[in-house]
Amino acid sequence: QREAAEVAAMVADRPRGREGCWDFEGDEGVTGVRLGSLLDPNTRVLADYKDLGASPGCPKRFKRDILLPRILADLEKRAARLAEAGAGATISPERAAVTNALLDFYASGEQSVACCLWFYSRRVDAKHLAGTYRESGDDFLRRHATQRAKLRRSVELVGRGERVVTSAALEREGVRPGPGMGRLLALAQATSAELGLFEEEEVLKALRASPHWPAANGADRVRQEEEEGKAV
């Protein structure tokens, strides 16, 4: 297989079609745009590649693929910071955000995710051989294979746009629509994925035991929401 730089250069240097636009239809070479997205962001080729993604007629799937490497790199950094801080038993909003972003990443399409992980693993390997990174490329791929297997059912739910706990379920619990509900929905999704809970009541039970669940007392909850409204 070509290295990412070679593929990106091939795509960037292709002659343009009529009226200066790229011809995407039936062009197998353009699929290399996904593989070239792992280049260093300061290189000219990646800039050309980003221009390609913004060109008229570029399929939406390519536009999404452009973002995947940046999403993965950001995920790796955020996950590392959480690990350094100590995960703990409670799923915090910060931890939930990382878990949910990982679900979104894995739900981006099997081929695109596989290409992204493979090319990123080559960069990890280069750092590992240089002695600046503990994990090898193969270790990186095994880690993600294990995570993907564990999160498979949750990834499928995300891919279908479904949730174990919905806003309607939270409203039945007395939670009003607003930013607080959004945070609870994010926590619910991450809790379901991390703990392997796929029944609504199971996830709600875990949320109720969480320090992030709104105050049980109705008056306290109303005051809390009024204070949040004033803060906004």
- Euclidean distance between CA atoms 75 and 69, whole angstroms: 10
pLDDT of residue 70: 74
Q: pLDDT band at 133, cuts 50/70/90?
A: confident
Average pLDDT over residues 213-226: 52
- Euclidean distance between CA atoms 130 and 114, whole angstroms: 25
8 and 42 in contact (C-beta within 8 Å)? no
**Chain CA centroid to CA 97, Å:** 9
The dihedral over CA atoms of 191, 134, 78, 66, expressed in degrees to the nearest 10, equals -100
Checking if the pLDDT of 208 tops 80, the result is yes
Average pLDDT over residues 112-139: 84
Q: Within the chain, where are the H helices?
A: 4-12, 32-35, 44-53, 60-85, 93-106, 110-129, 137-150, 152-159, 167-172, 179-195, 200-208, 218-231
Checking if the pLDDT of 74 tops 50, the result is yes
pLDDT of residue 221: 47
- Euclidean distance between CA atoms 157 and 219, whole angstroms: 35
Rounded to the nearest 10 degrees, the angle between the axes of helix 93-106 and helix 60-85 is: 150
pTM for this predicted structure: 0.73
Query: How many angstroms separate the Cα of 73 from the Cα of each of 57, 70, 77, 121?
Result: 28, 5, 6, 11
- Euclidean distance between CA atoms 187 and 212, whole angstroms: 9
pLDDT of residue 42: 52
Q: pLDDT band at 231, cuts 50/70/90?
A: very low
**Rg of the chain taking only CA atoms, in angstroms:** 21
Q: What is the pLDDT of residues 173-193, one digit of tens each?
A: 999 999 999 999 999 999 999
Judge residue 20's burial from the number of C-beta atoms within 10 Å of its C-beta, 0-12 exposed, 13-18 middle, 19 or more buried: exposed
Checking if the pLDDT of 27 tops 90, the result is no
